[in-house]
Amino acid sequence: MKDMKDTTIVVIGGLSGIGRATAELAAAAGARVIAAGRRTPPADLPPSITTAHVDIGDDASVARLFEGIGPFDHLVLTAGPVIGSARLADLDIDDAIAAFNIKFFGQMRAARHALGNIRRGGSITLTSGLLARKAAPGALVKASMNAATEIMAKTLAKELAPLRVNVVSPGMVETGMWGEMSEADRKAMAARAGANLPVGRVGQGQDLAQAYLMLMQNGFITGSVVDVDGGGLL
Ligand SMILES: NC(=O)c1ccc[n+]([C@@H]2O[C@H](COP(=O)([O-])OP(=O)(O)OC[C@H]3O[C@@H](n4cnc5c(N)ncnc54)[C@H](OP(=O)(O)O)[C@@H]3O)[C@@H](O)[C@H]2O)c1
């Protein structure tokens, strides 16, 4: 792991799951880390991680976050809504719009407001998801907002160059994104889903965190989507 001393990173969505794992790995590599989100920060976060409140669905809240932070090097966006599956006939369009407002427009909003803060040599890493390129009945909203995220990143990689913009696309990762369920149900779901993957298990936050760190550190990667899915897209 490269030393990230003298590097400041901001992780929106950094108070849980994949974002938290990324914040912790970057902090372990020596980075100054600001983890932002809506929830009360977990008490067991390493003390080297500073926390901040932001609602990525609210333009004023996102603007306030970056005004308060000042210059930094890398922006990581992992905030996303918990949404279920619905086929078109059962879809509530207002729910779909609300999900897009967090996942797609939230990432666009954060990138927009962070522009003036990110130092030369820095990067933005967005998050999509396997369904962006794997059509499945009932996945219309997730697939659409993740696919839109991927083309947003590629467009911004050209438009904002030399600032680098990339995407991590997770497959099934054991986090709160799976919704409320008992520990036993979560483990059973992980075992079932993992058995169908080439690597024989679902992902953990740390598997994903390594990809975000690589994209921050490798100055030759931009406009890329990195699939971290245990082979789920195959
Ligand atoms: N886990 C998977 O299997 C999987 C698969 C494909 C893609 N992904 C993507 O990976 C990313 C990270 O998800 P995760 O698995 O790490 O789940 P997670 O632990 O639920 O992380 C999502 C984070 O987003 C935050 N968030 C939601 N709405 C927000 C808002 N309006 N403003 C600020 N923060 C907000 C949540 O915090 P609050 O609830 O406190 O707001 C939470 O901390 C998401 O984009 C997700 O779509 C995950």
The pLDDT of residue 230 is: 98
Residue among 163, 162, 123, 110 at smallest CA distance from 26: 123
The pLDDT of residue 179 is: 81
Residue among 2, 152, 166 at smallest CA distance from 75: 166
- Per residue in 5-59, pLDDT (tens digit) is 999 999 999 999 999 999 999 999 999 999 999 999 999 999 999 999 999 999 9
CB 109 within 8 A of CB 56: yes
The pick from 10, 15, 16, 34 for probing ligand 1's pocket by mutation, whose C-beta has the most ligand atoms within 8 angstroms, reads 16
Whether residue 175 has its Cβ less than 6 Å from ligand 1? yes
Which amino acid residue places its CA nearest to atom 12 of ligand 1? 78
| The token pair that represents 137 in the structure block | 């009945």
Whether residue 233 has its Cβ less than 6 Å from ligand 1? no
Whether residue 41 has its Cβ less than 6 Å from ligand 1? no
CB 35 within 8 A of CB 50: yes
- Per residue in 74-88, pLDDT (tens digit) is 999 999 999 999 999
Q: Which atom of ligand 1 is nearest to the CA of 203?
A: 3
Phi and psi (nearest 5°) for 78? -125, 10
- The SS3 assignment for 53 reads strand
- Per residue in 141-196, pLDDT (tens digit) is 999 999 999 999 999 999 999 999 999 999 999 998 888 889 899 999 999 999 99
Of these residues, 61, 85, 123, 128, which one is catalytic? Answer: 128
pLDDT-derived band of residue 2, with 50, 70 and 90 as boundaries?
Answer: confident
| The token pair that represents 69 in the structure block | 């932070």
What is the pLDDT averaged over residues 105-133? Answer: 98
Which amino acid residue places its CA nearest to atom 17 of ligand 1? 177
What is the pLDDT averaged over residues 111-133? Answer: 98
CB 225 within 8 A of CB 128: yes
What is the pLDDT averaged over residues 82-111? Answer: 97
Instruction: Identify the bridge partners of residue 173 per DSSP, sorted by sequence position.
Output: 203
Active-site residue flag, 128: yes
Please tell me what DSSP assigns to residue 42: P
Share of the chain above pLDDT 70, in %: 100
The pLDDT of residue 180 is: 84
What is the pLDDT averaged over residues 111-135? Answer: 98
Instruction: Identify the bridge partners of residue 56 per DSSP, sorted by sequence position.
Output: none
Whether residue 54 has its Cβ less than 6 Å from ligand 1? yes
- Mark residue 9 as left, alpha or beta (left: phi above 0; alpha: psi -120 to 50; beta: remaining): beta
- Per residue in 58-67, pLDDT (tens digit) is 999 999 999 9
- Per residue in 215-228, pLDDT (tens digit) is 999 999 999 999 99
